[in-house]
Structure 1
Amino acid sequence: MSKAAEIDIVSVSKVYGATTAVHGISLKIPAGSYCCFLGPSGCGKTSTLRMIAGHESISSGDIRLGNTVVTDFPPAKRGTAMMFQSYALFPHLDLIDNVAFSLKMKGVDKAERRAKALEMLKLMQMEPYANRRPAQLSGGQQQRVALARALITDPEALLLDEPLSALDPFLKIRMRAELKKLQKSLGITFVHVTHSQEEAMALADIMVIMNDGRIEQAAAPREVFEKPATAFVARFMGDHNVLTGRVTSSGNGVLVMTVPEGQSFSVRGAGRAVGEAVDIGIRTDRVRLQVATEWTLGFNGIVSNVEYRGSSVKITVLGAGSDDFTVISDDSDYFARPVAVGEAVSLSWELDDALLLGRSSA
């Protein structure tokens, strides 16, 4: 396998007519890392992946792979390989010829390309099926063949466009583990587009969360989980509640924020002026169904939904300007004192479980 390359995205934009799909983003993806682009539909993640691959032209900016600016290179000259969401296997060819196809296009002789294709199928544990056609395979097997076909060119970076979306939930989890293992054993850079938070958390060394053509946060999964950069990231990842209000006072490294409904909440932080709009995030698993004391923060609300999840229970509450304030309660704690939809409840959390969020750059 060839060595991995760092991918450097420098002020890259993509404009389609009057629509800007990607707004001047910059990002360094370290060589040999597993990077996941994550975000809602239409956020620009697939356009970015296709620009790295060369399947989409760049409106402005540059992409560098290792020390080479590849902005104007065709896909085959970039040192990247792309695995498409649909797998795009040729139905009339057996697996060896499917995997060897790009080498055939490069004029590699038949014996050599077939030997290399068999080697790749062996890597994917698909050698016993080498003479089958794609229609005779399961979804997970087709995916392995598509991976083998992408990797046969010895790319420095493998680009994956929602590679697990067509698989059933059980197979998704298994293939996720296999992708991670494959990336570690090959040591090349993987760039993977997904809309699944769980998938990105499980796979990524670096998560890139996009919204409306911009990068909201690029960091290790644990940092994104524990310290979402903006209200968008906090809401999108789903592990923080977000309350929005204005600063009413500040001092000793603590801001007091008041929501339009009148409740006030403290958060550690500084550098925000009185009257300035702020967002605070509160971890869903750190909120307790109990009355706030002089040592804790909280508010009273009405239960709007209760979902049993096995080891935990998700309780949704209306209050403090939020219509989906979430409490993730341990199942034993919840069943010791269950609550019902429509019931009034008191919620509380510690000061250190609240986080001052940044504002998205518009």
Structure 2
Amino acid sequence: MSKGADIELIQVTKRYGAALAVDAVSLKIPKGTYCCLLGPSGCGKTTTLRMIAGHESITQGDVRLGPTVVTDLPPARRGTAMMFQSYALFPHLDTVDNVAFSLKMKGVDKSTRRAKAMEMLKLVQLDHLAERRPAQLSGGQQQRVALARALITDPQALLLDEPLSALDPFLKIKVRQELKKLQLQLGISFIHVTHSQEEAMALSDLVVVMNGGRIEQAAEPREVFNRPATAFVARFMGDHNVLSGRVAGRADGAVTFEVPGGVSFTAPDEAGLEPGAPVEIAVRTDRIRIADAVIPGCGLTGLVQNIEYHGQKVQVALAAPGVDDFAVQVPESAFFAKPLSIGEAVPLAWTPDDIHLLKPSPSA
């Protein structure tokens, strides 16, 4: 197997008439990286993947695979392979012939291509089902056949379009583990489109969060979760509260800002914000504690709107003046030692170290 190559997108743009689907995206994916393109429907992630594959033309910009600009090359000459969401297996062919199909199209003789197909099926642990047809396989097995078929061309990068979306939750976790193990074994880059935050966090070396055709943040999963770049990333990744307001004053390396309801909070003065400037902060839901009293600048009194039991934690949704949607994760034992009720007013507090200043969104 080839050990892959760096993939670089240079100011890649895609327009459909007047509609802008991908807006001047630049990204470098080092070889051997498991990269997830993550975002809501319509954010441009699948279009970006298809442009890397060559299944979608590029309006402006370039795609580079290693030293080669592949922008105008057809898919078969790019050194990438794509696994489609539908799997697209041929129902009349058995598993081994499905996997060997691309080699047949290249004129490889039958014994050579079948031997290579069996090698690929062994890699995905399906060699014992070589003679079955797709209809005789489970969804997870069909997915692995599609994976083997993509890998038989010895690609430098494998592109996966929502590969786990059709699987049930238990199988998703199992196949997810197999994908990561396979990627490490092959040593090539996997570029995987998903709208699942959990999937991206579990699999990725590099998470690329997209919104409105642009990249909001590209970083390691832990960086994206602990230091979301923008309010969009903080909200999309979940488990963060975002507070938005305008700067009222500055003192001692911090700014005071007010939300529309008149409540004031503090934020680190990292950006030299002037009075009147917009400011947004994120505070993780598990860093907020139920307090005896509100700490000025680092707390609020919220009215309990909803309570959800999640096993090891209890999610409490609250509202406050100028803050419609605020959540707190309370450890299960702590919650049931002192339960809360809907309609109850609760003082909440956090520390200055728990505050993360957000940047304006590039998609705004």
In the superposition, the TM-score normalised over structure 2's length comes to 0.98
Equivalence for 1:308: 309
Equivalence for 1:331: 332
Structure 2: 5+ residue stretches without partners: none
Q: Which amino acid aligns with 1:53?
A: A
Equivalence for 1:2: 2
Note the C-alpha offset of 1:269: 2.6
1:194 aligns with 2:200: no
Equivalence for 1:82: 82
Q: Distance in 1 between matches of 2:52 and 2:219?
A: 19
Contact 2:264–2:297 (CA under 8 A) maintained in structure 1: no
Note the C-alpha offset of 1:321: 2.3
Q: Distance in 1 between matches of 2:350 and 2:337?
A: 19
Equivalence for 1:161: 161
Note the C-alpha offset of 1:247: 0.8
Equivalence for 2:274: 273
Equivalence for 1:348: 349
Q: Distance in 2 between matches of 1:63 and 1:282?
A: 37
Contact 1:243–1:321 (CA under 8 A) maintained in structure 2: no
Equivalence for 2:286: 285
Misfit runs of 4+, over 6 Å: none
Contact 1:303–1:340 (CA under 8 A) maintained in structure 2: yes
Q: Distance in 2 between matches of 1:199 and 1:108?
A: 37
Equivalence for 1:142: 142
Note the C-alpha offset of 1:293: 5.3
Note the C-alpha offset of 1:165: 0.3
Structure 1: 5+ residue stretches without partners: none
Note the C-alpha offset of 1:249: 1.2
Note the C-alpha offset of 1:324: 2.0
Contact 1:32–1:189 (CA under 8 A) maintained in structure 2: yes
Note the C-alpha offset of 1:335: 0.6
Q: Within 5 Å, which residues of 2 pair with 1:253-268?
A: 253-268=253-268
Q: Distance in 2 between matches of 1:294 and 1:341?
A: 23
Change (3 A) 1:240 1:333: same
SS in 2 for 1:282: strand
Contact 1:295–1:350 (CA under 8 A) maintained in structure 2: no
Change (3 A) 1:213 1:191: same
Q: Which amino acid aligns with 2:201?
A: M
Note the C-alpha offset of 1:320: 4.0
SS in 2 for 1:178: helix
Q: Distance in 1 between matches of 2:199 and 2:321?
A: 32
Note the C-alpha offset of 1:252: 2.7
Q: Within 5 Å, which residues of 2 pair with 1:1-362?
A: 1-270=1-270, 271-292=272-293, 294=295, 297-361=298-362, 362=364
SS in 1 for 2:64: strand
Q: Distance in 2 between matches of 1:10 and 1:291?
A: 53
Q: Distance in 2 between matches of 1:262 and 1:277?
A: 15
Contact 1:8–1:63 (CA under 8 A) maintained in structure 2: yes
Contact 1:207–1:219 (CA under 8 A) maintained in structure 2: yes
SS in 1 for 2:125: coil
Contact 1:243–1:281 (CA under 8 A) maintained in structure 2: yes
Note the C-alpha offset of 1:323: 2.2
Q: Which amino acid aligns with 2:341?
A: A
Note the C-alpha offset of 1:250: 1.7
- Deviation per CA, 1:5-32, whole angstroms, max 9, x where unpaired? 1100000000001100000010000110
Q: Distance in 2 between matches of 1:52 and 1:234?
A: 27
SS in 1 for 2:324: strand
- Deviation per CA, 1:206-250, whole angstroms, max 9, x where unpaired? 000000001000000000010000000000000210010001112
- Deviation per CA, 1:103-149, whole angstroms, max 9, x where unpaired? 01111111100000000001111011000000000011011100000
Contact 1:6–1:31 (CA under 8 A) maintained in structure 2: yes
Contact 2:261–2:323 (CA under 8 A) maintained in structure 1: no
Note the C-alpha offset of 1:322: 2.5
Range moving further from structure 2, 339-348 or 127-136: 339-348
Q: Distance in 2 between matches of 1:260 and 1:294?
A: 19
- Deviation per CA, 1:316-353, whole angstroms, max 9, x where unpaired? 00114232211011001111111111211111111111
Identical counterparts, % of pairs? 67
How many residue pairs get aligned? The number is 362
SS in 2 for 1:90: coil
Q: Which amino acid aligns with 1:114?
A: R
**Considering only aligned residues, what root-mean-square deviation do their CA atoms show, in Å?**
1.1
Note the C-alpha offset of 1:295: 7.8
